[in-house]
Chain A
């Protein structure tokens, strides 16, 4: 196959590209420039797309003996990921920009361009297992439970997955680092990326306030309706947040308060006790089925495991498609489930890895 390897400059995508070369594919490396004004040097584990990252990717490609180019996706990234991120927060929802980037940049803008230019697939360093069985893609959790990234890939369509390669799915991060060192890749010891790449200082609230300005509103006790304080914008809060609410008087019960809901139209932030934060019913829209089959091809309610965050946040669940909405009943209530997040559904499988049935965007919770 002709394979386009997306190379971030990190250890994972470098080893993934190396494995694609070993597998006999005709590989070309591409670094995506996502920032309109890239920094020169990387600082620690934060940020990405610096000139130094592009350099690291280039050196890895040199070592693998593959052609390497830098492609400019800054405009698309700004539109489809950063502006979407800000708009979602502004609408009181909690988006996952990594998921959005996979959906719209790596496996859409990049993949489309790759296919049009004559490539058969895009290869990345994601930790997830992908195979095609009877013509249908099967996306499963990584062999490394701690690094598993199937959640941020669960919103890819079967067509996107048919043209994807995740060569690291069967490996652990430790193995990948060891392999990188063995191959002589200089990035073997490079720290992992964390947080949101376009917010290098990690201060999401400041990032949003810089873009959205101050939009004053009130904090209200969800039970009594009492106004407890004021705030400078709903975008400064996420459902499940406990710290930094700025409420002076303690709750009568003496128990901590959490953000329960965000109402951007009125600027209201609803707060209350942890018990009111629990969610056992989720409605989600725009479902995507990686295999191409609704809920793994089973009609009616399906027993599965639901996951609402990139790491953790899982519960056994029953899922059902009602019209074009996905209804998920959680057997064990989850906390901090916010509209805008994705819910991914898995069919547990200890041997081959949990199978992703589908994913959808949470619209309401109860």
Chain B
């Protein structure tokens, strides 16, 4: 099996599995006051300190959540409500058009309820939000902005945003910037304090930790209303008994991912370049989407090291995905699904890609277990798969053209 979908989820690191397994067989509610409780609490707090240390945050800024989606929802809704409650004029949310659905849909939900007004921040052809675009959006009325949210790196096309510059622009007007760094942590140099962001989302299963656990790094002075009420375990911003095994597994993975980041990134960048070259060799007209990855943003690469995202003209993404799956190669169309149907990616559409080309796109994402053999397997399979998928795409076009002709015939009496 050739797994080229690490951006969807990546295998857990053995050390994280070991740490989590040990915690699973240890009794203790971190909120309890007795010995077992204190033992569990200690594990949680050491994990919190580890994560804070690895990401340039203070331990009190680490809020444990149930994953990236919860962290994004907490940031968008919680900070919106918190900032609006402090000043009723702040009703506007600025969000990039290429956010993950966990941000996008939370923003739209606020707007649909008539609570928030949204200014969508357009992206350039690489899928990047330019600082002047954010500046312009804020300048329209600096006093009515509750928050801005721009992802650190795009999950589909891998383009990295200049978070530090964006946060600086936001800070000029006292606007809080949230950044979804789910794909960035472990792949790019992420330092919360230096970034200037007010809130940052990360999740366990994208960096070698477990599923179902994440963190919102939340600046100490950023107001945030809770979504989950109860025991108030996490700074009164998030309630729920802490998942000690998941938290220690996450902390272990974050520490390793961050420590090994530079080396992993170097290796994956080289592998990705091999992959891009192999795909282009087999399919000369394949189009690489997103930033080419040859420049620098905030001291790191301008594209996620493990990401390669292509449009294959004349193909449907779902055909390609099935054909590659049948050859044991697992990848993704990269975009969100409705009832399992791949929609044309909102990210590509926002970048100005035509819907037909957007439908014919695949994301190959490398991770810590990827090898040269994975790239070789794709290199061997992609050419024939594209050729076959093109045949299927053309069959559809031919029929559609016939249908149009038929419907234009005069109606029989």
Interface residues of A (CB under 8 A from B): 28, 31, 33, 38, 50-51, 54, 58, 67, 69-72, 74, 76, 79-80, 84, 87, 91, 104, 108-109, 112-113, 115-118, 285, 363-364
Contacts and interface: CB of A to CB of B under 8 A. Distances in A.
A61 B326 CA distance: 15
Given A28-B322, A38-B338, A108-B399, 20 more contacts: A33-B339, A33-B340, A58-B340, A69-B318, A70-B341, A71-B318, A74-B341, A76-B396, A87-B407, A91-B411, A109-B396, A109-B399, A113-B392, A113-B395, A116-B395, A117-B322, A117-B323, A118-B323, A285-B412, A364-B413
B339 A38 contact: yes
Interface in B373-413: 388-389, 391-392, 394-396, 399-400, 403, 407, 411-413
Given A38-B338, A69-B318, A285-B412, A113 B403 contact: no
B233 interface: no
Contact of A104 (B339, B341, B395, B403): B403
A80 B391 CA distance: 21
Nearest to A285: B412
Contact of A67 (B322, B339, B403): B322
B389 A363 contact: no
A70 B340 contact: yes
Interface in B139-163: none
Interface string B316-358: 0011011101100000000001111110000000000000000
Given A108-B399, A113-B395, A67 B326 contact: yes
Candidate in B338, B388, B413 with the most chain A CB atoms within 10 angstroms: B338
A30 B340 CA distance: 11
A285 B410 CA distance: 14
A117 to B, nearest CB: 5
B151 to A, nearest CB: 26
B356 to A, nearest CB: 11
B403 A363 contact: no
A334 B104 CA distance: 58
Nearest to A35: B339
Contacts of A115: 395
15 contacts: A33-B338, A67-B322, A67-B325, A71-B318, A79-B403, A91-B411, A104-B403, A112-B392, A112-B395, A116-B395, A117-B319, A117-B322, A117-B389, A117-B392, A363-B413
Contacts of B394: 116
Contacts of A76: 396, 400
B339 A54 contact: yes
A91 B410 CA distance: 12
Nearest to B384: A118
Nearest to A31: B340
Contacts of B318: 69, 71-72
A67 B342 CA distance: 16
A84 B409 CA distance: 13
Contacts of B322: 28, 67, 69, 117
Contacts of A38: 338-339
B341 to A, nearest CB: 4
A74 B318 CA distance: 14
A38 B412 CA distance: 34
Interface in B182-229: none
A341 to B, nearest CB: 14
Interface string B102-139: 00000000000000000000000000000000000000
Candidate in A31, A70, A74 with the most chain B CB atoms within 10 angstroms: A70
Interface string B290-321: 00000000000000000000000000001101
B411 A116 contact: no
A87 B323 CA distance: 37
A188 to B, nearest CB: 23
Given A67-B326, A69-B318, A70-B341, A118 B388 contact: yes
Contacts of B395: 112-113, 115-116
Contacts of A87: 407
Candidate in A50, A87, A108, A285 with the most chain B CB atoms within 10 angstroms: A108
A80 B338 CA distance: 22
Contact of A113 (B340, B396, B407, B412): B396
Given A38-B338, A70-B340, A70-B341, A112 B399 contact: yes
A31 B403 CA distance: 23
A112 B396 contact: yes
A56 to B, nearest CB: 12
A31 B337 CA distance: 14
B186 to A, nearest CB: 31
A38 B337 CA distance: 12
Rank and list the top 7 A-B pairs by shortest CB-CB distance, nearest first.
A70-B340, A116-B392, A112-B395, A116-B391, A72-B341, A33-B341, A116-B395
B403 A80 contact: yes
A228 B165 CA distance: 76
B339 A70 contact: yes
B384 to A, nearest CB: 10
B200 to A, nearest CB: 32
Nearest to B359: A72
Nearest to B343: A72
A363 B395 CA distance: 31
Contacts of B399: 108-109, 112
B403 A72 contact: no
Contacts of B337: 70
B339 A51 contact: yes
Contacts of A116: 388, 391-392, 394-395
Nearest to B323: A117
A230 B168 CA distance: 70
A81 to B, nearest CB: 11
A80 B413 CA distance: 21
B385 to A, nearest CB: 10
Nearest to B325: A67
A323 B395 CA distance: 31
A348 to B, nearest CB: 30
Nearest to A90: B411
Contacts of A112: 392, 395-396, 399
Contacts of B325: 67
A104 B413 CA distance: 23
Nearest to B320: A117
Contacts of B391: 116-117
Contacts of A70: 337, 339-341
Candidate in B319, B395, B407 with the most chain A CB atoms within 10 angstroms: B395
Nearest to B340: A70
Nearest to B344: A72
B52 to A, nearest CB: 40
Nearest to B400: A76
Contacts of B403: 79-80, 104
Contacts of A118: 323, 388
Nearest to A104: B403
Nearest to B321: A69
Contacts of B411: 91
Interface string B163-174: 000000000000
B343 to A, nearest CB: 8
